[in-house]
Structure 1
Amino acid sequence: MKFFKTLALNLFCLTLLVSCAESQEKVSEDKEFKVDFETYTLDNGLQVIFHIDRSDPVVAVALTSHVGSAREIEGRTGFAHLFEHLLFLESENLGKGGLDKMSARIGGSGANGSTSRDRTNYFQTVPKDALEKMIWAEADKLGFFINTVTEQVLAKEKQVVKNEKRQRVDNAPYGHNFYVIHKNLYPEGHPYSWEVIGSLEDLQNATLQDVKDFYNRWYVPNNVTLTIAGDIDVDQAKKWVDKYFSEIKRGEDIPKMEKQPVTLSETKKLYYEDNFARVPQLTLTWPGVYQYHPDSYALEVLATYLAKGKKAPLYQTLVEDKKLTDEVDSYQYNSEIAGQFMMQVTAFPNTSLQEVLNGIEEGLKKFEAEGISEADLDRIKAGQETAFYQGLSSVLGKGFQLAQYEIFAGDPGFVNQDVKNILAVTPDDVMRVYNQYIKGKNYVATSFVPKNQKNLALTDSKLADVVEEPIVEGAEESFDASVVAEYEKTPSSFDRSVEPPYGESPDVKVPEVWKDELSSGIKLFGIENNEVPLVQYRIQLDGGMLLENSEKIGVSNLLASLMTQGTATKTPEELENAIESLGASINTVATKEAIMIYGNTLAKNYDKTMSLIEEVLLKPRWDEKEFELQKQSVLSQIERQKANPNSIAGIEFDKLIYGESNILSHDNFGTKESVEAITLDDLKTYYNTYFSPNITKFHIVGAVSQAEVSRSLTSLNDKWASKEVSFPEIAEIKHPETSKIYFYDFPGAKQSILNFGYPAIAATHADFYPANLMNYRLGGGGFASQLTQELREGKGYTYGVRSGFTGSSIEGTFMISSGVRSNVTYESTALIKEILENYGKNFNENDLEITKGYMLKSGARAFETLNSKLSMLSNISNYNYPVDYAKQREATVKALTVEEVKALAEKYIRPDRMIYVVVGDAATQLDKLDQLGMGKPILLNK
């Protein structure tokens, strides 16, 4: 094996990425930021990368195989993604349940994986005492797995993957768009001409021998990178890696993937009438460049500049001037051997996509005439800097990034060159790549339009070839997931069936929280954390939809949308430029219970970011033009929700749970009628009546001290006058006395969306946390949950199912949600009902042990990221939880008994008093639901 010296990756964020004069004055004040790592190669070819990060007692372990859909052959597509699923199920020494089962015991983040065109990875963050267990488990997957795959296992997992495809592609608006693009952008036989998830037909035709051949070819040590990042002893980790991985045999040499760029001899225009779309969408795709190509950096700037923000030429033309859409997107999709440059516009209802194309061409001419300025280039680079640090703010993020560079750039240290390449882009580069790849070049144009609206597609478009799956009862093959595989175990030099012991228990670090209250009434909650030079914040003004007139629902949502569209002293474009030049983000959103201002900034620019937030809060612009743009945007979003079965299910569920007299029954976007009735004066009235510091909470986490935060808020505190805000009483929430089933018809749906539940308890209720503990084995624990084990692993009905209690200071809900194969809607509903009826009765000591093990062990990683720390502060401020509530919850877990769980289940799991909402194809599924014994299903849309 070879050993490589430690390399330091030095990222000089200020001197390299921000060129404005103010920043250059601070060069000497900035600290060097670096990521240290070691690489280590076993004799069998396994590449190992170690990174030490002692900020939290956790370790991220990622196994990345250099195989994705590009290594497949036509007719056998979807194999790489299928393996992402199979490798979690079982291996010779982990047994059934594999890594998923172990994850629940060791307090892991939940073993997960992802597949791309070029790689498949498996990853998890665990408490540091479980590191040897993870190395043992990952080695077992790589060298001791394939014998456990049987015909029954394969048949079941085919169903799960097909359900995933239905959920992500077949049952989603514009779901087939990339299929059409890639079939026409890449020539037949090109590895990127088929989709990563594969086709339903190919998956169905896959044989067991096909699967074994694929595994034996690509899942070999010399095609794999193992990354271990976190609170580790590198010398000890090397010994464990050597012990568990070194005797796995090297595979055949893996050929290098040669670059295969493509050209188009003509522009191709295609259209498709989408069953789920309610508004038309146009996508333009040009052949681009492979990942890390020298031109990819300028193309990335080009994509950002053309479409994103008030100054973007395409935004100005399509959104502000022509008012054809509320958003334009432009981006690269670059992979190992080729890439593509894309523009996408989801237009307003009944908008001709030919008009959209004309607007794009007009915007591009504007860019050709004006180019990009140095100031705009610096602004974009500042955003790239912040994004870079965000990617490194967790041990898993660091591990992913190092593996990415190792596999696709040949060296984890390429991060240094990558940053230099980003910074080297000039305005001339941006114009050069535009002329080379976009201007006058052929492209693929796809028009996805609602049913019976072909007239909205681009002129001269041809019908795209898309394979739609019919809904057929009993079409899926049966299988028995309980069958145990019989095989001769792979020999090893030691007994691998013995699971390694835990290491020394980590000392769980609960972040130190500081609190304060300013004279104006603003309540402050903070955590100082200097791991990366970032600050994240969340400002919460209580109220949101709760303070609205029920006749004009949507006021707070529109107000939140308008808040960042300029201030009294800055035009929308000036405000946006000011924010982005700091490498910051300021976002505003309304919920049913609050208006939030949230985002992040580079620590060095924190004070300047807070000055802008003060402007946003105290100096609204009240721009009539921007108000009309935001209003049209919301109306478009409301229309798009009608195309999303999940959105429909959520909206209908809330209506039934809360009842017409309760304001919480509304969607806070409002309805078409309520939004159309809202005026700018309505927003001003809400602002003048309800914007007050005494109902405001300021949460902040990152590289900033309490003293710095308090000082930064002095001006806001002095200028913001407090006012009395009264909250109306919320109508009583009535609990169902009997179960009823409701059906929303979505003709042709390939899946049925299930939302089942009832009004439950508030987050402030004494039973809220114990009830969530009780739910862990039911539906809150992922693969440790009975619902997942029975509906997904046992039956193959679904890609995912979950249950849980949601609540705030107001009574929340208990809900089960899932998307199931359309032709097992009744069977899935009946099985869920049966599981709920028996859950409390069957709960036993083993269930308790798994629940306790997960809850206690997972505390080590509970507050690792800045976002998780922000959520902790929100819990403390909103629900009056004690600062050490995480520690107090440990005591609750330790004291929990089987009898207490049974009592909680009896009290809070009530399948006989629940609302059952199904969104699906009524023609094929409605009548069967009569058999549930809840009366005839009530059709919600006639």
Structure 2
Amino acid sequence: MRQKLLAVTAISLLASAAANAQAKLVEKVTRQGSELVIPYEKYVLPNGLTVIVHEDHSDPVVHVDVTYHVGSAREEIGKSGFAHFFEHMMFQGSDNVADEQHFKIVTESGGTLNGTTNTDRTNYFETVPSNQLEKMLWLEADRMGFLLDAVTQKKFEIQRETVKNERGQRVDNSPYGLLSEVMAKNMYPYGHPYSWLTIGYIEDLNRVNVNDLKNFFLRWYGPNNATLTIGGDVTSKQALALVDKYFGSIPRGPKVENMKPMVPVLPTHRFASYTDNYARLPMLVKTYPSAPSYHQDQAALACLAQILGQGNNSVLYQQLVKKQLALNAGAFASPQELSGSFIFQIIPFPGKPLSEMYYLLNNALDSFEKRGVTDDDIAKFKGGYESQMINGLQSVSGKVSQLAAFNTFTGNPNMIGKLMKMYQAVTKEDVMRVYNKYIKLKHCVTVSVLPKGADEKMLVAKDNFTIDTTGYTPPHYGYDGLKYVKAKDKFDRTKMPGNGPNPVVKVPAFWKKDLNGGIKVIGTENTELPTVTLSIKIPGGHLLESNDMSKAGLASFFTDLMNDDTKNYTAEAMSRELQKLGSSVSVFSGNEDITFQVQTQKKNLDATLALLEERMFNPKFTPEAFERFKKQNLESFRMAKTQPTSIAENVFAKINYGNNHILGISGDGNEETVKNITLADIQAYYDNNMTSQGTDVVVVGDITEAEILPKLAFLSKLPNKAVTIPAIAAVPAVDKTKIYLVDVPKAAQSEFRVGYVTGMKYDATGEYYKSGLMNYNLGGAFNSRLNLNLREDKGWTYGASSYFSGGKQTGEFQFGAGIRANATDSALIEVMKEINGYTEKGITDEELAFMKNAIGQRDALRYETGFQKAGFIGNILEYNLPADYVDQQSKIVANMSKAEIDALAKKWLNSGKMNVLVVGDKAKILPGLQKLGYEIIELDSDGKPVEKKAF
């Protein structure tokens, strides 16, 4: 069904909806004109629950979102992290849903799910085949109205550990992870709702008890503080009947008043600093208070941020990065419900003090004032925003999320057209007005982030602000006397609803065409949005470098420069033209190809393809750009050596493949190999490897075969010559399991990698595909054995998973997780126990049924967006798959037996012959690992042995 971009008609009614005697229809919005709109009907139940229904019958999919207007801003000093903590607890079962069953039920229904928390709201959402709608509403209602008796002390303790691990992974164990926390404390007054992070402080998480958490739920999680949004292949009549059944009897909660904006006023410049254990380079962050979300200045501030610090036309890029005065520099406008921030971030090259960056930033702002705002600035901003808004409507989840957010924060789901008008109305005068209002001569907070061991002379200035904790009075949120009252029903909630009739899933129809020179084209028409996505894959990439591994990373470096200047456009001019069109043209490398990726609105397709042709056939490899990218790449390698996750990925590849194998080196190369690359090598790559033979073109969007083929005629200019991808070297089998250890002192977590090179190539219907099915219950699903053990039962990790990966020449098996440091040895014992248990005792009948249901029903979600359709047909072309391979996969899943799963597990999962890598604090974890009986070999962050003697 084609979605025309038409105007809004809003009908406010006080009468009851015909479909439901209790839900009042407040508003109905339909398409009647030419403006952008998401059609919906809005209802309110007697208990205060707001219900929004959006009908879209283009795919047999529904998305359910429950957004509660509560985030960390409803917390108080000493009790931070409650909102996020409760997000975790909402997945731990309720009266009628057993522990660890929420994820299982949704996954087994062929769906996906998650929850997120920020300062101002918490949301829970599921995307499922449309026949599973009733089950999803039953689940969401059960945890809204029947949760607290299922919140046990044991669950509470486990999820507290999980949240602490999440904080360790995202904040404490991450470069610059503490920056937002330091900024918030210094930006906002003591007790301000934004003066702490959503994830909270460890000491607060340690202090909280289960009754505190229950009171938080009773105060904020009532239906009158929630918006339930349902979108997709559903009717309002159907949805409202189910909503009334499952939600209508849930009692209203305490009254919730919206909070008023609380934008801080800074009387002076504030300077703060901290030392970061994981950052290799210092960072300067300068933040100004600005307007909250949906403020009249929001659009102009977003435009100002783009002009000052986003993209290669920005002031900061031109003044600092292009001149190689800074490694990275950007500006961002971040509006939130109560206040906004306008942020500058600068990372200098090694040795440069942050005071120099502060000076350069001020100079750049002076140059902006002289330069002013241009017509091109405004045209770029408007073109990009229009495309961003339209592309956000590709999926039902995207539309539902917008409706839910608009209603939660403004009370009006129909904001998309108003926002579009606001952004399209921005003028040059508006941008300068907000610059003068929020930035020029205004006080701000400047944070200096220093690497471990850095001299204090690197600071912009010494800390000059002391947080005033006097006079703080905790807000009276009304926690006293709260009572848990359950709904009384006339039906049995203990019975989980069954499935509706199975939806008809239509695999995208596609066409294929062979062009001259060996070019193959595949396409599918998708008329839901007026957009076109185009992908051109040319043979090449990382594996070509196996002929000379001393220059590994050449293909990636080549694509850096292919994204820069051309003979007729500077990089800045190219970006400017693309942004005005709201289009993108990017070039990137893979293992066996170089890809040109295009995204555009149909109306701008011809102009965008002309720019693609320029980029593809008229590159200009300048010495200045070459040196700039080389310097940036070398610094990025050095920075990666301070990040445990990056260390784990790079070192594990070297362990698996060895020092003399191309796949033992990152596709970006490393510090040693990139130093060897010359400008002549870049030119030679272009001259020798651009080819039509073996080139694949994928087209998805609002365009027919007859329309697109003439527009691809420029590809005939590709040289018709053979480019052969070398066969990769064989990898020796792992003789026995060993532990490889990389020391990262003071690491809060240990990064785990366990696995080996299987040699198993990708296939869609053979042993590779079946091995993926075999792994699903071991480590592929949220309810897999590994994740339930390490996360849900032990609370040692934020997440653990395993998977098989495969390409055209080889493949791997890998387990990965970030594990709490003091549980490192115990976690390894459990990982091996789960692998051994799976191979020795096999899959259970219940697990087999779960896998078949989950995999067998998820096809409804696989072809919704343009990118999903492109991935599907692109796979057909790249691997020469039969048109009915999805049907073949469905039959494989349906017929998969326990014996076949068990045989595959025994064949591919031998815990005695796997590589184990642990990246963490050696002082903390080595004694425990030594007790496990494995040989232990210490490596440095490059994967080189630290000493010959093993532990």
Q: Could you say which TM-score interval applies, normalised by the shorter chain? A: over 0.9
Q: How does 1:437-586 map to 2 (within 5 A)?
A: 437-455=438-456, 457-462=458-463, 491-548=488-545, 549-586=548-585
Aligned to 2:858: 858
Shift of 1:730: 1.2
Shift of 1:673: 2.5
Aligned to 2:775: 775
1:136-188, CA deviations, whole angstroms, 9 ceiling, x for partnerless residues?
11110100111110111111100000000000000000000000000000000
**Counterparts of 1:427 and 1:864, CA distance in 2:** 39
1:793-841, CA deviations, whole angstroms, 9 ceiling, x for partnerless residues?
1100100001000111021110000000011000001100010011131
Aligned to 2:756: 758
CA shift in 2, pair 1:43/1:99, >3 Å: same
Aligned to 1:24: none
User: Secondary structure in 1 aligned to 2:588?
Assistant: strand
**Counterparts of 1:389 and 1:119, CA distance in 2:** 24
Instruction: Tell whether the 8 Å contact from 2:48 to 2:223 is kept in structure 1 after alignment.
Output: yes
Aligned to 1:174: 176
1:2 to 21, 24, 38: 24
**1:736 to 2:734 alignment:** yes
Q: How large is the RMSD of aligned CA atoms in angstroms? A: 1.7
Letter in structure 2 aligned against 1:756: V
Letter in structure 2 aligned against 1:808: G
**Counterparts of 1:330 and 1:653, CA distance in 2:** 35
User: Secondary structure in 2 aligned to 1:361?
Assistant: helix
Instruction: Tell whether the 8 Å contact from 1:271 to 1:463 is kept in structure 2 after alignment.
Output: no
User: Secondary structure in 2 aligned to 1:91?
Assistant: coil
**Counterparts of 2:295 and 2:492, CA distance in 1:** 47
Letter in structure 2 aligned against 1:500: P
**Counterparts of 1:816 and 1:348, CA distance in 2:** 35
CA shift in 2, pair 1:346/1:628, >3 Å: same
TM-score after normalising by structure 1: 0.93
User: Secondary structure in 2 aligned to 1:195?
Assistant: coil
Letter in structure 2 aligned against 1:853: N
User: Secondary structure in 1 aligned to 2:421?
Assistant: helix
Letter in structure 2 aligned against 1:737: D
Shift of 1:375: 2.3
Aligned positions, number:
899
1:754-795, CA deviations, whole angstroms, 9 ceiling, x for partnerless residues?
01101111113820110000011011112x211111110110
Q: How does 1:23-34 map to 2 (within 5 A)?
A: 33-34=36-37
Letter in structure 2 aligned against 1:103: V
TM-score after normalising by structure 2: 0.92
**Counterparts of 1:156 and 1:311, CA distance in 2:** 49
Shift of 1:715: 2.1
Letter in structure 1 aligned against 2:692: P
**Counterparts of 1:488 and 1:430, CA distance in 2:** 52
Shift of 1:491: 4.3
**Counterparts of 1:499 and 1:787, CA distance in 2:** 27
- My pick for the range that moved more, 898-907 or 662-671, is 662-671
Aligned to 2:19: none
Aligned to 1:332: 333
1:623-671, CA deviations, whole angstroms, 9 ceiling, x for partnerless residues?
2211111111211211121121111001011101111222111112222
1:80-108, CA deviations, whole angstroms, 9 ceiling, x for partnerless residues?
00111110110111222242121122111
**1:704 to 2:703 alignment:** yes
Instruction: Tell whether the 8 Å contact from 2:754 to 2:915 is kept in structure 1 after alignment.
Output: yes
User: Secondary structure in 2 aligned to 1:701?
Assistant: strand
In the alignment, structure 1 segments of 5+ residues that lack a partner are 13-31, 467-486
CA shift in 2, pair 1:463/1:692, >3 Å: farther
- My pick for the range that moved more, 440-449 or 236-245, is 440-449
Aligned to 1:192: 194
**1:290 to 2:292 alignment:** yes
Aligned to 1:68: 71
CA shift in 2, pair 1:924/1:313, >3 Å: same
Instruction: Tell whether the 8 Å contact from 2:36 to 2:417 is kept in structure 1 after alignment.
Output: no
1:894-916, CA deviations, whole angstroms, 9 ceiling, x for partnerless residues?
11000000001001111111000
Instruction: Tell whether the 8 Å contact from 1:10 to 1:34 is kept in structure 2 after alignment.
Output: no
In the alignment, structure 2 segments of 5+ residues that lack a partner are 1-22, 468-483, 947-951
Shift of 1:684: 0.6
Aligned to 1:812: 811
User: Secondary structure in 1 aligned to 2:322?
Assistant: helix
Instruction: Tell whether the 8 Å contact from 1:280 to 1:350 is kept in structure 2 after alignment.
Output: no
User: Secondary structure in 1 aligned to 2:936?
Assistant: coil
**Counterparts of 1:179 and 1:171, CA distance in 2:** 14
Letter in structure 2 aligned against 1:40: Y
1:189-247, CA deviations, whole angstroms, 9 ceiling, x for partnerless residues?
11000100001111111111101110000000000000100000220110000010010
Aligned to 2:10: none
1:40-82, CA deviations, whole angstroms, 9 ceiling, x for partnerless residues?
1100000011001111100000000000000011101100001
**Counterparts of 1:346 and 1:768, CA distance in 2:** 44
Letter in structure 1 aligned against 2:197: E
Instruction: Tell whether the 8 Å contact from 2:790 to 2:796 is kept in structure 1 after alignment.
Output: yes
2:222 to 217, 220, 227: 220
Q: How does 1:36-435 map to 2 (within 5 A)?
A: 36-109=39-112, 111-321=113-323, 323-435=324-436
CA shift in 2, pair 1:814/1:148, >3 Å: same
**Counterparts of 1:352 and 1:870, CA distance in 2:** 47
**Counterparts of 2:729 and 2:869, CA distance in 1:** 33
1:20-45, CA deviations, whole angstroms, 9 ceiling, x for partnerless residues?
xxxxxxxxxxxx65421000110000
**Counterparts of 2:934 and 2:59, CA distance in 1:** 50
Shift of 1:465: 9.9
Letter in structure 2 aligned against 1:674: T
- My pick for the range that moved more, 504-513 or 813-822, is 504-513
- My pick for the range that moved more, 581-590 or 424-433, is 581-590
**Counterparts of 2:648 and 2:175, CA distance in 1:** 15
User: Secondary structure in 1 aligned to 2:773?
Assistant: helix
Instruction: Tell whether the 8 Å contact from 1:65 to 1:121 is kept in structure 2 after alignment.
Output: yes
1:581-628, CA deviations, whole angstroms, 9 ceiling, x for partnerless residues?
110111222233322222411121112211111111111111221111
- My pick for the range that moved more, 280-289 or 932-941, is 932-941
1:410-436, CA deviations, whole angstroms, 9 ceiling, x for partnerless residues?
101122211111111100000000011
1:97-135, CA deviations, whole angstroms, 9 ceiling, x for partnerless residues?
2421211221111x2010010000001100000001111
